[in-house]
Amino acid sequence: MLIGRVIGEVWATQKQASHEARKCLYVQPLNLDGSERGEPILALDAVDAGVGDRVLVATEGFSAMTAVGRPNSPIDMAVVGVVDEVEVVE
């Protein structure tokens, strides 16, 4: 999974049915020090995360599907948590 920052949303009316009724969040993955890690990704929201939240993203399809409760659907990433705190013990 990845930690990311929700930087926006993507609206799409013409889309697969399994993507309906879920916010499609535009998430920028972060490194542990908060710096940007690669390009932003799109993940369906399963925990009512909003723009600006630091979130946990499952980047594999099966976990994403079960997170949004829609098996056998073309979803490969989902926001599965809102991060309150990250503690790293070196």
Partner 1 sequence: MYLGKVIGNVVCTMKNPVLEGKKILVVQPLDRAGKPKGKPVIGLDSVGAGAGETIYWCRGREASFVWYPTEVPTDCTIVAIVDRVNVKEKGTTDSHR
Which residue number, 53 or 80, has a Cβ lying nearer to partner 1? 53
Task: Give the nearer residue to partner 1 in terms of CB position, either 17 or 90.
Answer: 17
CB 34 to partner 1: min, Å: 10
Number of Cβ atoms within 10 Å of the Cβ of 71: 10
Reduce the DSSP state of residue 59 to 3 states and report it.
coil
* 8 A C-beta contact, residue 32 and residue 86: yes
Contacts with partner 1, residue ranges (CB under 8 A): 5, 7-16, 19, 24, 26, 28, 39-44, 50-54, 60-62, 64-65, 72-77, 84-85
Smallest distance, partner 1 to C-beta of residue 32, A: 15
Give CA–CA dist 34/28, Å, rounded: 10
